[in-house]
Structure 1
């Protein structure tokens, strides 16, 4: 790795890029599990009730919180990219990154409050 690569990986824009890509990958891995759970409704109400009984464990509640954080991170990162590419202004990239991270944190905290209240 040359010095330009190491310097680029310390830049906040690189971390925003990495978080956006990793959150998208994690969401893509989650979707088959989600659709499998929803498919239990095809077996009738009893099949769905059995599947939904799993969602009462603390581990699943924490995973749901993580999912909301991933969704909000991915949404904010995608919005940041759209604003940078198609917006008429050219501001500092760090402001957009901080806004995206703040949005994701606020969404995660709001969901955690609603989940455990």
Structure 2
């Protein structure tokens, strides 16, 4: 009878704990069937399958997709913050602190930084010292 079953896993993780449940299911079962059979929804009642994304081996799939031998079904939590917005805020902060070029957003060029501070004379002195006549 066990020859008629396929093996798969259901994974879910929180910041402080994780669950990995191994199952033997009938071939042709959907992702939703496997999740319901695993009992993970009872273990983590906060999971809302209607609004959560699920995947197999890090690729997003639909709940009606069929599970194959060896698949790991992953239930994804929603993002707390938009990564694009976080990067934008971090870049703005770096510009304000002088760690990033205000025009390009890249690293500050030390030679340009001296010029913008009004140290053109110091820069010229450094050039003369490096190339004596």
TM-score higher than 0.5 here?
no
**TM, length-normalised to structure 1:** 0.25
Q: Which has the larger radius of gyration?
A: 2
Decide which structure has greater strand share. Answer: 2
Larger RCO: Structure 1 or Structure 2 (Cα < 8 Å, ≥ 6 residues apart)? 1
Decide which structure has greater helix share. Answer: 1
